[in-house]
Homo-oligomer: A and B are copies of this chain.
Amino acid sequence: MDKNETMDRKTRILDAAEQVFGNSGFDGASLRQIVQAARVNLATVYYYFESKEHLLEEVFKRRLGPVKEEQLASLRQVERRGLKGMAAVEKILEAMLFPALRLTASADLKRSIPTKLIGRVVADPNPRFQELIRSQHDEVRHAFIAALQRRLPKCSIADLAWRMELVWGALAFLMCNPDRVKRAADGEGHSVGARMALAQMTAFFSTGLCAPAAKRNPPAR
């Protein structure tokens, strides 16, 4: 798990890049910082990855890929149990949130938060990064919206899409900087793990998902 010499250079570069990109952002990070942390030569990055941008993509997919698989697998498991109504909605939300929250709460080596980079990329309006997000996230989005729609037939697809977009927004916000959550935590400043965040989000959002439709033309204020 630690970055000793026994790990191959490619993995060391990916680990270091994840940390440096997460802390400093794509433009704020330099390859020289990354190769120093990975204890490899600058040219090694260009041997394994063809550019700084490709390196970022590899780091990103390496983290998000397994999350995506776990979300979809958990969703399939919920479907098999044949739950109905509110209980199903809660379990579907958990299937989506937990894999991401567990990763957010797990600080590798105490100082690196694996999801910081994901949160940053989500917040970047650069079309290049938006496409990267989209390529990883579209399948998950469609699967979860479809699953929810079957349990909430009275809620239109458009309303569900809106609401899930808001849920993903809140999740991305937590992934950027888990400290914000710890501050809210339990009101006494105690540290908080993925399970606490999961319970809070599930209670809040599952009830909201069952809310009546938004008015099409809200009255002027």
Taking Cβ atoms with an 8 Å cutoff, the residues of A that contact B are 22-28, 94, 98, 113, 116, 119-120, 122-126, 130, 156-159, 161-163, 165-174, 176-177, 179-181, 184-187, 195, 198-218, 221
Report B-chain residues with C-beta under 8 Å of the C-beta of A25: 25, 27-28, 124
Q: A203-B213, A221-B98 are in contact. Are A173 and B163 (CB under 8 A)?
A: no
A-B contact pairs, 30 of them (CB 8 A): A23-B126, A24-B27, A27-B27, A116-B125, A119-B125, A120-B123, A122-B123, A122-B176, A123-B172, A124-B176, A125-B177, A157-B187, A158-B184, A159-B200, A165-B180, A166-B170, A166-B173, A166-B201, A169-B169, A169-B171, A169-B173, A173-B173, A199-B214, A199-B215, A199-B216, A203-B214, A205-B208, A207-B207, A207-B210, A207-B211
* Cα A166 to Cα B184 with chains together (Å): 10
CB distance from A82 to the nearest CB of B (A): 17
Q: How far is the CA of A213 from the CA of B123 in the complex (A)?
A: 30
User: How far is the CB of A74 from the nearest CB of chain B, in Å?
Assistant: 9
Most buried by B among A126, A165, A184: A184
Task: For the A-B complex with A23-B126, A120-B123, A123-B124 known, give 11 more contacts whose Cβ atoms are closer than 8 Å.
Answer: A124-B176, A158-B185, A158-B187, A159-B200, A163-B204, A165-B184, A173-B173, A195-B218, A199-B214, A203-B214, A204-B208
| Copies of this protein chain in the complex | 2
Give Cα A184 to B168, complex, Å. 12
**Residue numbers in B under 8 Å from A214 (CB-CB):** 199-200, 202-204
